Amino acid sequence: MQRQFDAVIRDVFRDSGTQQEERGTVLLAVSGGIDSMCMADLALHSSAGVAFAVAHCNFHLRAAESDSDTAFVEDWCRENGMRIHIADFDTAGFASSNGLSIEMAARELRYRWFGQLCAEYGYAGVSVAHNANDNAETLLLNLLRGTGLRGLAGMGTVSAIPYACSSASGQGAGIPAIGEPLLCRPLLGFTRKRIEGYMRRRGLSFREDSTNVDTAYRRNRIRNDVFPLFERINPSFIRTFNREMEYFSQADGLLQELLQSSALPGLPHPCRSDGSDVSCDGTGDEGEARIDLHSLLSFRHWPYLLYMHLEQYGFNSAAIASVESLLRSAADGRGTLAGKFFRSGTHLLVTASDALVIRPLDLGADVKSHQYHTLAENGTVEVTGPGRYVSGGVSFTVEVKPRRDIPSLKCPAGTLMCDSSRLPFPFVCRRWQAGDWFRPFGMKGRKKVSDFFTDLKLDAFRKSSTPVAVWGDGRGSHIAAILGARIDDSLKVAPDTEEVLVLTLV
């Protein structure tokens, strides 16, 4: 075990190269239980060339038993000359105030603290004592709540620290960014039986956690009720599960590489999440990803492609299944597609008639009562003359040019031209409102702005951000123009037009 442990630590925490330069001190997460005390002893006798310190969390969930665990770990560190950090948490209070289970509250508290210790003391990373049995439990838990290939791969030997890295968005551990502290699991190759044998042979002490038999915890139900049944069928099922998880991990990696190396028209590349904002090819506005539905549905196995794309934005399997069901219904003519919203913890997805549009929530998106709103002001700006303006985050320029200086009235994309005398200063640009209407250039009849947006196949994001120009104070519902799209027919340049007003989105 010692040789295998040292090999993992050396690979993870020492730079490759001829000099084998050390990467600093590694923090050991030690609870006092059998797994973490095995890891602590292996670290104590390690020849990997890495220094270690200990971090211990007292979650105060087992009264005096929790305090005794803390005293036990403190004594071990004192006897072995290892630095220790101790944190006391009101885990039950944190869980209650944040709507979390005790398990999730403890997980978030400890990993946030580990990240803070790494930042404060410059530790290279954190080593935790997850073993092969824990990994098999993770596989079953992932299956029970729904997962893809990545979830079938279980835990990896190396990942980012959940909740802790400076680039983290709270989604969990992914590929660590360069320079970020690492989360290492050096015992994943060891079964619980092997760890127990190591501790017996060396005569080492550890603490028993009385909650390990409490079936209120999901992992305990799997460990104590399900695993014994599996063991009767296959006594070495833990090794079998872990071998298969490695294959699933390789299959996921292979699929990712194939998709990254081949451009799929209309589809952004699935990007592995590293805890930071996802930036993929095929994006529109900054931070926005668009999935062209014609391209997506052209693949025979499009549902899994959809899963791969949406999972990276924090959408769980239930939400993705809902999106898939919506696409199938629309394709069969059993429902409408555009204007539906789905929200993950970090992103908002809105369906357009021809695309799925995804944006980070922190770009100002929110969903209330199935409506899309922006958190910014309504974007009203008074246009008093030529210059550059911003309406609701959209920038545009206003120019007035002599008609004789404009050789062609054919407008480039994003530009509108009209008779300046028919839209005099000052006028107002604002967001469109329900009831707004105009007579689109070249048409005689009235048309609602909302219907015009539908004709343009604009998604809800663009509908909400596209400004309209309105005569006077902007309170009227008859608009003069939709910036970047169309003017009212009454503004068209006529033979007697002397000056042309040019509106350009920038």
pLDDT at 173: 40
CA angle, residues 387, 389, 392, in degrees to nearest 5: 170
Strands 437-438 and 394-402: unpaired
Q: How far is CA 4 from CA 43, 47, 49, 195, in A?
A: 12, 11, 14, 13
Does some domain include residue 246?
no
| Distance (Å, whole) CA 344 – CA 360 | 9
pLDDT at 63 over 90: no
pLDDT digits (tens, 9 = 90+) for 129-139: 999 999 999 99
Token couple for 71: 């005293």
Strand order in the sheet with 499-505: 387-391, 394-402, 499-505, 415-419
Does some domain include residue 248? no
Q: Are residues 438 and 300 in the same domain?
A: no
Q: Are residues 28 and 168 in the same domain?
A: yes
What is the mean predicted confidence (pLDDT) over 276-304? 68
Residue 99 is predicted with a pLDDT of: 82
Question: Average pLDDT, whole number, for the chain?
Answer: 82
Q: How many CB atoms lie within 10 A of CB 440?
A: 20
Same domain for 233 and 310? no
DSSP codes, 59-106: --SSTHHHHHHHHHHHHHHHHHT--EEEEE--HHHHHHHHT--HHHHH
| Strongest mean pLDDT among 66-80, 203-217, 264-278, 450-464 | 66-80
**Are 369 and 274 found together in one domain?**
yes
- Give me the pLDDT at residue 285, please: 53
State the pLDDT at residue 373: 31
The pLDDT, as a whole number, for residue 102 is 86
Q: What pLDDT score does 2 carry?
A: 94
pLDDT at 497: 94
Residue 378 and residue 433: Cα distance in Å, rounded? 10
Query: Where do the DSSP E strands lie in 112-234?
Result: 125-127, 158-160, 182-184
CA distance 422 to 430: 18
Q: Which of 66-75, 278-287, 327-336, 384-393 has the lowest mean pLDDT?
A: 278-287
Q: Bigger pLDDT: 116 or 311?
A: 116
For residues 338-364, give the mean pLDDT.
79
Average pLDDT over residues 391-419: 88
The DSSP element (H or E) to which 355 belongs, if any, is strand 355-360
User: Do residues 373 and 366 make contact, with C-beta atoms less than 8 angstroms apart?
Assistant: yes
Distance CA 438, CA 449 (A): 7
H-run or E-run covering 252: helix 237-261
Q: Name the pairing type of β-strands 182-184 and 125-127.
A: parallel
153 and 287 in a single domain? The answer is no
Is residue 250 one of the residues assigned to a domain? no
d(CA 13, CA 173) in angstroms, rounded, equals 18
Q: Is the dihedral of CA 139, 141, 143, 149 positive or negative?
A: negative
Lowest mean pLDDT among 66-75, 251-260, 397-406: 251-260
Residues 6+ positions from 368 with CB-CB distance below 8 Å? none
Using the predicted structure, report yes or no on whether residue 267 has a pLDDT greater than 70.
no
Q: Is 401 exposed, middle or buried (0-12, 13-18, 19+ CB in 10 A)?
A: middle
State how far the Cα of 341 lies from the Cα of 450, in Å rounded to an integer.
18
Q: Is the pLDDT of residue 402 over 90?
A: yes
- The mean pLDDT value for 477-489 works out to 94
Asked whether residue 318 is assigned to any structural domain, the reply reads: yes
The domain tally of the chain equals 3
pLDDT of residue 255: 75
Residue numbers of the domain that contains 20: 2-240
- Among the candidates 338, 359, 374, a domain finishes at 374
Helix (H, G, I), strand (E, B) or coil at 21: coil
pLDDT category of residue 280 using cuts at 50, 70 and 90: very low
**What CATH number has the domain bearing residue 225?**
3.40.50.620
Same-domain check for residues 45 and 167 = yes
Let me know if residue 254 belongs to a domain. Answer: no
Of 423 and 280, more confident: 423
Task: Based on the fold, state whether residues 47 and 162 are members of the same structural domain.
Answer: yes
- Do 88 and 222 lie in one domain? The reply is yes
Q: How confident is the model at residue 437 (pLDDT cuts 50, 70, 90)?
A: very high
Per-residue model confidence (pLDDT) at position 487 = 96
Q: Domain check: are 199 and 70 in the same one?
A: yes
Query: Which of 350, 374, 398 is the last residue in one of the domains?
Result: 374
Q: Do 295 and 273 share a structural domain?
A: yes
Examine the pLDDT at 494 and tell me if it is beyond 50.
yes
Q: Which of 63-72, 331-340, 351-360, 479-488 has the lowest mean pLDDT?
A: 331-340
Residue of 68 and 340 predicted with greater confidence = 68
Q: What is the pLDDT of residue 360?
A: 85
- Judged against a pLDDT cut of 50, whether residue 60 lies above it is answered with yes
**Domain identity same for 153 and 180:** yes
- On whether both 174 and 288 belong to a single domain, the answer is no
Q: Please report, for residues 28, 240, 419, 477, 501, the alpha-carbon distance to residue 492 in angstroms, rounded to integers and kept in the order given.
A: 73, 74, 6, 19, 10
Mean pLDDT, range 48-60, rounded to an integer: 94
Distance between start and end Cα atoms, the chain: 62
Of 329, 357, 374, which residue is a domain's last?
374
264 band by pLDDT with thresholds 50, 70 and 90: low
Is pLDDT larger for residue 20 or for residue 504?
Answer: 504
Smallest CA-to-CA distance from 413 within 285, 330, 327, 504 is with: 504
Q: Is residue 233 part of a domain?
A: yes
Question: Could you read off the pLDDT of 110-153 as tens digits, one per residue?
Answer: 999 999 999 999 999 999 999 999 999 999 988 887 787 878 88
Is 173 inside any structural domain?
A: yes
- Residue 480, helix vs strand vs coil: coil
User: Distance from CA of residue 182 to its chain's centroid?
Assistant: 19
* pLDDT level of residue 335 (50, 70, 90 thresholds): low
At residue 247, the pLDDT reads 82
Could you report the per-residue pLDDT of 183-225, keeping only the tens digit for each?
999 999 999 999 999 999 999 999 988 777 776 678 888 988 9
Write down the pLDDT at residue 311.
83
Torsion over CA: 442, 444, 445, 449 (sign): positive
Does residue 455 form part of some domain? yes
Prior bond of 426 cis (ω within 30°): yes
Handedness of CA 439, 443, 446, 452 (dihedral sign): negative
For residues 250-277, give the mean pLDDT: 57
